[in-house]
Amino acid sequence: MSASRARTRHDAVRIIEAKRDGRELDDDEIDWIVDGFTRGVVAPEQMSALAMAIYFRGMSDRETARWTAAMVGTGTRLDLTGLTRGGRLVPTVDKHSTGGVGDAITLVLTPLLATWDVAVPQLSGRGLGHTGGTLDKLESIPGWRARLDAGEMRSVLSRTGAVICAAGADLAPADRDLYALRDVTGTVPSIPMLAASIMSKKIAEGTGALVLDVKFGSGAFRPARADAEELARLMVGIGQASGVRTSALVTAMHTPLGRAVGNALEVAEAVEILDGGGPADMVELTCALAREALAAVGIADADPHERLTDGRAMDSFRAMIAAQGGDPDASLPRAAHTEELRAPGPGRLTWDALGVGRASWLSGAGRSRPGQAVDPAAGVVLHRVEGDEVAAGDPVATVHAGDPGRLPAALEELRGALGVDARPAGAGARGRGPAGTVVGVVRGW
């Protein structure tokens, strides 16, 4: 059936009613309403009502895959076939995280993967709320720019093998408008719509292979492990159906990854990892994702740890930053004001990821609405991490802020995120393990 005939047959109210009553939408209905919303034929309040109906009624795998394809179809799909490095054709592979606290993995993983004969087209976004945005982090590097057109992106990939940049407005534009509605109507956590949102952009960017980091825990969009596993299964299925070789790691986000939560603070930690050091949880998850991504493009028995310690990953990072106008030798911004948080008593320490993320947001590192400026130097540095033994009065974290007026609220939030269990190990004290622990793998290949 042609698009014009489908438009005359369908009606937004009837589609909303169908989903409200639990009926599975057919392909024509999905194509029509996504296209109609993009063109302004379907009113925002109607799409909001449908989003709420989907939130409560869900979508089948077929509906979700079709919804994803319809959103991809509202814009262009990048063609990265025939991409070469050093005169040789190379496969493309990308990574996506569902969002977390202190999750600067992309800053390390992208240049690390590029030390092999692959190209990594990482289209990233900005932070909203307690989760940080990759572009916000990199913009703390003087001169670095997020916006590249398709030709520039391809050129950087050919020269360095790695690019991290903003998605163009013509990639799955329906998702951008629909996400804005979901954000103000409480429907962001819908698993089918979350899967379609993520995968529409990744499919549109043209990558040949994709590894997903799907998080659960207090710092994740969906705290329950079962929800994360369902989201991983759904996204892998969508990717495979779209011709993208896809797999997913399900990982823990009950406590922050690494020690830094902010923008420049996370860049500094990423550089530390690229220099062969850094927090063990960040290193281990980076290497696990690297092995998965490389396996997806047929590179077996890779040793990511070696390339983090022998200088190759750092060289790749510096080349990637310079190719996008950044100065890899420039000093990062530093906050004018800091204040320490100390342990209230002795025991084994825990951190709640959501609370730490909110503390960083309150310090000025995040935004509460799209387009709002962030403080590149603001955030939280943890001196002691989950499972560490502390004594009363030990410094456990420092809040960084450009505006001293932000410190009290950020410290209060951080204090609420801190737990100290005085019971000895083995007597019931909590031991949840580090952030980034891989609890499951879903593969479509």
Percent of the chain with pLDDT over 90: 84
- Residue 56: other Cβ atoms inside 10 A: 11
90 falls within a domain: yes
Q: How confident is the model at residue 2 (pLDDT cuts 50, 70, 90)?
A: very low
pLDDT attached to residue 1: 39
Question: Is residue 431 in a domain?
Answer: no
Final residue before a domain boundary, out of 72, 97, 124: 72
Q: Is residue 432 part of a domain?
A: no
Question: What does the pLDDT look like over 392-420, one tens digit per residue?
Answer: 999 999 999 999 999 999 999 999 999 99
**Residues 89 and 174 grouped into a single domain:** yes
- Three-state SS across 97-137? ECCCCCCCHHHHHHHHHCCCCCEEEEEECCCECCECCHHHH
Domain co-membership, 179 together with 315? yes
Q: Residue 433 falls within a domain, yes or no?
A: no
User: Which of 66, 176, 201, 400 is labelled catalytic?
Assistant: 201
Domain range for 415 is 337-421
Model confidence at 4: pLDDT above 70: no
Are residues 390 and 270 both part of a single domain? no
Least confident piece of the model among 15-29, 63-77, 131-145, 178-192: 178-192
**125: its two tokens:** 């976004």
Q: Is the pLDDT of residue 244 over 80?
A: yes
10 tagged catalytic? no
The Cα 236–Cα 199 span in angstroms is 9
* 275 and 369 assigned to the same domain: no
Q: Assess whether 353 and 398 both reside in one domain.
A: yes
Within a domain: 117? yes
Q: What is the rounded distance in angstroms from the CA atom of residue 341 to the CA atom of residue 198? A: 36
Residue 173 in any domain: the answer is yes
* Domain annotation covers residue 427: no
Instruction: Give the DSSP letter of residue 406.
Output: G
Residue in the structure block whose two tokens are 């059936």: 1
Candidate list 35, 103, 175, 352, residue with the active-site label: 175
Q: Which CATH number characterizes residue 309's domain?
A: 3.40.1030.10
pLDDT digits (tens, 9 = 90+) for 210-240: 999 999 999 998 899 999 999 999 999 999 9
Residue 308 has pLDDT above 60, yes or no: yes
- Helix (H) / strand (E) element for 85: namely strand 84-85
Residue 6 pLDDT > 50:
no
Highest mean pLDDT among 187-191, 197-201, 425-429: 197-201
pLDDT score, position 367: 85
Residues 112 and 221 in one domain: yes
The residue whose two tokens read 């000025």 is: 364
Euclidean distance between the first and final Cα of the chain, in Å? 33
On whether residue 78 sits in a domain, the answer given is no
202 noted as active-site residue: no
364-390 per-position pLDDT tens digit? 998 877 778 899 999 999 999 999 999
Tell whether 260 and 321 lie within a shared domain: yes
Mean pLDDT of 32-47: 96
pLDDT for residue 359: 97
Tens-digit pLDDT profile for residues 86-102: 899 999 999 999 989 99
Handedness of CA 425, 426, 427, 432 (dihedral sign): positive
Total count of domains within the chain: 3
The owner of tokens 């496969």 is: 91
- 195 or 433: whose pLDDT is higher? 195
Distance CA 220, CA 218 (A): 6
Q: Which of 154, 182, 202, 254 is catalytic?
A: 182
Last residue of a domain, one of 41, 72, 103: 72
* % of residues, the chain, pLDDT over 70: 96
Residue 370: what pLDDT? 73
Q: In the prediction, which pLDDT does 180 show?
A: 84
- Give me the catalytic one of 197, 218, 242, 360: 197
Same domain, 292 and 385: no
Per the annotation, the verdict on 182 as an active-site residue is yes
198 & 302 share domain: yes
Question: What's the distance, CA 311 to chain centroid?
Answer: 26
Return d(Cα 423, Cα 396) in angstroms, integer. 19
Q: Are residues 189 and 281 in the same domain?
A: yes
Question: Which tens digit of pLDDT belongs to each residue from 262-293?
Answer: 999 999 999 999 999 999 999 999 999 999 99
Annotated catalytic residue, options 66, 96, 126, 233: 96
DSSP bridge partners of 166: 124
Which residues make Cβ contacts (< 8 Å) with residue 358, sequence separation at least 6? 130, 413, 417
Model confidence at 26: pLDDT above 90: yes
Across-strand partners of 123?
A: 165
Structural domain ending residue among the three candidates 49, 72, 95:
72
Specify whether 267 is located in the same domain as 361.
Answer: no
Averaged pLDDT of the chain: 93
Residue 441 has a CB neighbour count (10 Å cut-off) of 14
Q: For this structure, is 201 an active site residue?
A: yes
Give mean pLDDT, residues 119-137.
85
Measured distance CA(327)–CA(318) in Å, rounded: 8
Buried b (16+ CB within 10 A) or exposed e, 278-292: bbebbbebbbbbbbb
- Return the minimum-mean-pLDDT range out of 196-205, 354-363, 369-378: 369-378
pTM of the model: 0.93
CATH number of the domain at 342, please.
3.90.1170.30
For the cut 80, the answer to whether the pLDDT of residue 38 exceeds it is: yes
Same domain, 391 and 243: no
Q: CATH no. for residue 48?
A: 1.20.970.10
Looking at the predicted structure, is the pLDDT value of residue 117 above 50? yes
With CA atoms as reference, report the closest residue to 122 among 84, 149, 103, 94: 94
